[in-house]
Amino acid sequence: MNDQELMEAARVFKSDFPVYAKNVLKVINKEGEQVPFRLNDGQKMVHQQLEQQLKEQGKIRALILKARQVGISTYVEGRFFWKITQTRNANAFVLSHLAESTNAIFNMVRSFYEGVPHPAFKPKLSSQSAATLVFDEINSRYRVGTARSTQTGRGQTNRFVHGSEVAFYPQGADIVAGLLQTVGGNGSEVILESTANGAGGWFYDQVMKSLRGETDWITCFVPWFAMTEYRAPVRPYFERTKDEEQMAAKYGLDDEQLQFRRNKMDELGGHDLFKQEYPSTPIEAFLTSGRCFVEDDVLADAEKECYSPDFIGEFRSDGMSERSSGPYREWYPPNPDDSYVIGVDVAEGLAYGDYSVAQVLDSRGRQVACYHGHIDPWEWGNVVGMIGQRYNSAYMIVERNNHGLTTLRRLQELNYPSLFVESSVDGAYGDRMTKRGGFLTTSKTKPLIIDNLAALLRQRDSGIADLELIKELRTYVIDEKGTTNAQNGCYDDRVMAFAIALHGLASMPRPKHHPVARRFKTIDSVVGW
C-alpha cells in the first residue's frame, strides 16, 4: 500500500470496527485455523446496539446476556483493542471470573497485536507483562485482572471496561461498583457480559431492571435463531409439531431452523437443555432447569401491572412501623365493606432457609398486602392473626404441611374466627367425612392450585401488584416429570402462598349475590359466584 492508501485505510479503520476487524484482526475459527475476524450475526447485533447507545448517550453502559458459541468475548476484546490502538490517552481494563479465563483473554489480545498486518495500524509496544500491554507513544494501555476482591481493578482511570462472566463474580455487586468508580464519562464504555448463572444474583437483577427500562443500561441478547448458521437441511417427511408451529409463529422460524432445533434437542438430550444452550429469550437463558410454568409474554404483561406499595415496614403487636426494608408490604388498606382472604405458607424460621409468606387478596382477587420474612412458626401464628384481624377477620387458609401445623395451632389457640377447613373422605373409617383445619399440599392438590394460578395469569387479569412475586414466578418451572417447583437456588414461597390464597378465594364464605364473577377450580369441583 502506498502512503495515500494507508492514510485512507487508517481513516476508514478508525471509524468502522467491522471493516477494521476484517482487515486487521485475526481469530482462530472452529477448525483451529487463523482467519480474518469477520463479525457473525450475533456480533453484528450487539455491535449495532452498542453503537446506537453511543450515538444517543455519548457513552456505553451495556449488559450482554450471551448464549454459548456466539463469540461475544472475542467481539468485546477486539472492540477494545481497536479503541486503544486507534485512540490516544485510552486505558482499557478487562476483568474475568477465573485466572485461566483472564489468561485466555490476554493471550487473545496479544495475538491481535502480533497479527496486525502493517506497522501503520500497530502502535509501538513500550512494555508488556503477564497482564498489561503498554503503548507509551499514544499513552494507552490494555490491562487484565481476575475478580478476587472488591479492590480488584481500582488504582487507575479507565476509559473502557469489560467485565467477563460477571454473574460468577464473588461479591459481584461490590466488585462492579468498584470498577465503575474508575471509569470516565463522555466516550467511555462499560460492557458487562455473562452467560446466565441461574435466575438470581446481581447480574440477573440488573438485566431484569434494564429490560423493564428502570436504568440507563441496555441489555443485548442474541437469540439462537438470529444466527444464520443455525440451520439444518430438512429431512424427508418433515412435519411440524404443535410446539414447532407455535415457535414458528412466535419467532418467524422456517423449517430449516426448526430442523436445527430438532437435531440439537436430540444431541443434547431434551428440550430443557436446548433452551439452556440455545435460548430464545433472556428468561430462558436464566433457567438452569425445567421450563417456566407459564409463558414469558404472560409474565411480562403481569409485570407491567406491578407497582410500589404504599407502605413497607414491620407488623407487630403494638402496631405497624414503617421501615424501608421491612417484611410487610401493603398496597391497599382494608375496606370495611370488603372481605379478604389470606394464603399462608409456613417455613421453619431459620435465617437462611425458606421464607414464611402471607398473601392478602380482596374479594376481587386483587393483591392488597404481603408479608415475607423469616419467623418462628408459633410467632408466625401471632403475626398472621394480626394481619387477618386488620383485614376484617380475613378468611385464612394455612398450608398445614410440616411447620404449618404449629402456626395453625397457634391461630386456633387465639380463637381466630375464620379459618379454612378442608373436608375429605377418610378411607380408614369407611366413607366417613373428616374435617381438618388448613390446606394440605399433595401431589394431587398442588397441580390444581398451580393450574388455577396459571389460568388466571393467562387471562391477563392476575391482580398481582408485587414485582417480587413476578420474579419468583419467572423461576417457577416444570421439570421433565411434569412437577412444578422453584428452580434450583430460587424460592417459591410467594408463589405457593398466592396460589393457596386463590384457592381460599374460591371457597370463602360470601353473600349470595356477590358482584364478583370469577371461576376457580377447587379440589373437587369448579366453584363460581
Residue found by looking up cell 373436608 in the block: 423
The total number of structural domains that make up the chain: 3
pLDDT for the residue numbered 429: 53
Structure-block grid coordinates of residue 180: 465503575
pLDDT digits over 322-333, tens only?
888 899 999 999
Residues 92, 10: one domain? yes
Residues 218, 245: one domain? no
Residue 297 lies in a domain: no
Residues 434, 483: one domain? yes
pLDDT for the residue numbered 522: 43
DSSP states of 416-468: -S-B-EEEEE-GGGTT-EEEEESB---TTHHHHHHHHHHHHHHTT------HH
Helices and strands (H, E) in the chain, number of each type: 17, 24
Residues 324, 415: one domain? yes
Residue 294 lies in a domain: no
Ranges in the chain, pLDDT < 50: 512-529
Indicate which CATH number applies to the domain containing 314. Answer: 3.30.420.240
- CA angle 208/73/233 to nearest 5° reads 90
Residues 6 or more apart whose CB falls under 8 angstroms from that of 233 comprise: 256, 259
Residue 196 neighbours by CB distance under 10 Å: 23
Residues 378, 263: one domain? no
Residues 105, 186: one domain? yes
Residue 296 lies in a domain: no
**Pairing label, strands 34-36, 421-425:** unpaired
Residues 192, 282: one domain? no
Residues 351, 276: one domain? no
Nearest residue to 282 (alpha-carbon basis) of 210, 346, 216, 337: 210
For residue 432, the enclosing domain spans 303-528
Residues 91, 18: one domain? yes
Residue 32 lies in a domain: yes
pLDDT for the residue numbered 123: 86
Surface-to-core class of residue 451, CB atoms within 10 Å of its CB (0-12 exposed, 13-18 middle, 19+ buried): middle
The model's pTM is: 0.71
Longest alpha-carbon distance in the chain: 100
Residues 211, 254: one domain? no
Residues 334, 372: one domain? yes
Residues 273, 378: one domain? no
- Which domain-ending residue is among 192, 222, 252? 222
| Interatomic CA distance for residues 455 and 246, integer angstroms | 19
pLDDT for the residue numbered 515: 43
Indicate which CATH number applies to the domain containing 205. Answer: 3.40.50.300
pLDDT for the residue numbered 427: 54
> What separation, in Å, do the N-terminal and C-terminal C-alpha atoms of the chain show?
84
pLDDT digits over 13-26, tens only?
888 999 999 999 99
